[in-house]
Chains A and B, each alone.
Chain A
């Protein structure tokens, strides 16, 4: 198992956001986290690279393993963890720098990389994010000049450039039009060969299209997890059925 959580709980102050979540993800698969707003799916996602640490008053209990090692053990190097577990945010957040500098941002944080190697890795990341052909002639142009869909793919390229093992995506297409969304979904299929992907989405069709496994969250609890085809065709829990048939949410 690449990622495993055991009785994972998250508290914001004295408000409990996640209740004892047990969930496992295999290497090089895509797991979709679905559920209505505020169900805890994004909170769970942000535990995986410890981005929850940046919020004041967050307490995480229980176990969370990456390759069998505890992510929340005292003394864990959060910075190194985040280089192994990349993240793409809901709203594309390119930095106000050039396209090249955006992709190179993570690479420049570590020891100095020679210019030729840097160029090569930026190109590779942009190619994997299916953006290279569109931006190869304007690498020094501002990233803010790209379209919404391009910006989001740039953010994917930026995350891929540091060669993570896991890629977390927090509703990556919720702000995009259908065409840009289709492009990113197509991209995800190709990326699954190299990366373990966890994607939060409130679009059930998207979950059905892209993922191997789907987990349904409700009110901070993991209600059901199953291979995607099974979950959508014959859910075993009534709540799941109600959600996927659109009776609430």
Chain B
């Protein structure tokens, strides 16, 4: 290595190293700030004394239910779209139009999805501010990710699984449902779950579609308003009347949110790399 290479590559290594440090510092800072407040009670109790004490069970519950609605609404559509694109579609204007739409949808700001949710679900369809309106809004937000992840998983299924079934007298749908989807399922699921983890941290789309900063109980139906972790953190860190006192609670809430998102991400990443290794070998 000459001097040019040493300095140049050294600079590049510093860039990469800085990013790693950044990740460690960010996660470390939040977790170290919230660690001492975390307890079993913090996860299972309702907030008390104007959120200064007690736990964050209602926001945790709200976020979990929200994820379920998101998954139920986005998965069938996203997987269906991916199956069309990979298994049925032949190149042409229709496929180009669909791909163009998907790419643009993934670039639409999340707050704009929120506006759309207000226009369509809250006011247009009359769901009002509710779990359902928020869940459907997040479902649309995750749709392009679900499609892309499912498509990738389907494309990794070897062609021979399809041809082999067709040659035995299977119809296209029999080949897809009996051979292709089972083989693609683990990959699709990890991709979809990763998308849900990302949606769990989203705040802007739920801001006006049903999340509320405080309610004494958990929602009774999907038409109720609800509390959610990311919004709870937003309230605790900017809107609370006693920001300094609730700061430890804010740290702990951030830790829980970060923990949920990172644990899901980590699990999905490990599963995915195992799958890839298994399919190569």
A and B are partners in one complex rather than unrelated chains: yes
In this complex, the interface size class of chain B, counting residues with CB under 8 Å from chain A, is: 20 to 34
In whole angstroms, what is the CA distance A51 to B158 when docked?
16
Nearest to B160 among chain A residues (CB) is: A93
Residues of B within 8 A of A56 (CB): 90-91
The reply to whether A83 and B169 contact each other, CB–CB distance below 8 Å, is yes
State A158–B90 Cα separation when bound (angstroms).
30
The interface size bin for chain A is 20 to 34
B residues near A155, Cβ cutoff 8 Å: 164
* A106 pairs with B163, CB closer than 8 A: no
Name the CB-closest residue of A to B169.
Answer: A83
Chain A residues 202 to 220 lying within 8 A of chain B, measured CB to CB, are: none
* CB closest residue in chain B, given A102: B164
Hey, which chain A residues are within 8 Å of B168, CB to CB? 82-83, 86, 105-106, 109, 158-159, 162
Are B91's CB and A95's CB within 8 A?
no
Point out the residues of chain A lying under 8 angstroms from B158, CB to CB: 93
A87 touches B (CB below 8 Å)? yes
**Alpha-carbon distance between A80 and B170 when the two chains are bound, in angstroms:** 9
Q: Are B164 and A79 in contact, CB atoms less than 8 angstroms apart?
A: no
Provide the main secondary structure of the chain A interface: mixed
B183 at the interface (CB under 8 A from A): yes
Q: How far is the CA of A51 from the CA of B169 in the complex (A)?
A: 10
Q: Which of B108-116, B117-125, B171-179 contacts A (4 or more CB under 8 A)?
A: B171-179
| B residues lining the A interface (CB < 8 Å) | 90-91, 158, 160-171, 174, 178-179, 182-183
Which residues of A approach B to under 8 Å, CB–CB? Answer: 49, 51, 54, 56, 79-80, 82-83, 86-87, 89, 91, 93, 95-96, 105-106, 109, 155, 158-159, 162
Given A49-B167, A51-B163, A158-B164: 13 more A-B contacts, CB < 8 Å: A54-B162, A79-B171, A82-B167, A86-B168, A87-B167, A91-B160, A93-B161, A93-B163, A95-B179, A96-B183, A109-B169, A158-B168, A162-B169
Contacts A/B (CB < 8 Å), 24 sampled: A49-B167, A51-B163, A56-B91, A79-B169, A79-B170, A82-B167, A82-B168, A86-B167, A89-B163, A89-B167, A91-B160, A93-B160, A95-B161, A95-B165, A95-B179, A105-B165, A105-B178, A106-B169, A109-B168, A109-B169, A158-B164, A158-B168, A159-B167, A162-B168
